[in-house]
Amino acid sequence: MVTTPIELSRFMAAVRTTIMVVAGCVMSLTACSSGTRDDSRPDTLTVRQRDSAIGASRLPGASGVNAANRLADSAAARRAREAAAAQEQ
């Protein structure tokens, strides 16, 4: 327990020193990091292929991915029908 003003000033100096050391370590670690992932492998799957693989899995929410794929397919088919109908006129 800190009882005198001299002990208080020594305690506060120790706290300041500790804070400065921790802050210096954090800053040096963040300065040395590259900030980017070392992911040199290119993606070989398209978004559609990745979504299909997730939908085929037993992961939670996989049925939602399948439903979203079906919805996107039906919307694309509708747009294709509308474009074909517009060209016929």
Higher pLDDT, 53 or 89: 53
Q: What is the mean pLDDT of the chain?
A: 86
In a domain, 86, yes or no: yes
Question: Structural domain of residue 88, as residue ranges?
Answer: 59-89
When pLDDT is cut at 50, 70 and 90, the band that residue 34 belongs to is: low
- The helix or strand, by DSSP H or E, that contains position 3, with its residue range, turns out to be none
- Give the predicted TM-score (pTM) of the model: 0.47
Query: Domain tally for the chain?
Result: 1
When pLDDT is cut at 50, 70 and 90, the band that residue 45 belongs to is: confident
In a domain, 79, yes or no: yes
Which one-letter amino acid corresponds to residue 47? Answer: V
In a domain, 39, yes or no: no
Q: What is the spatial distance between Cα 60 and Cα 54, in angstroms, rounded to a whole number?
A: 10
Q: What is the spatial distance between Cα 5 and Cα 89, in angstroms, rounded to a whole number?
A: 93
String of b and e for 14-26 (b: at least 16 CB within 10 Å)?
Answer: eeeeeeeeeeeee
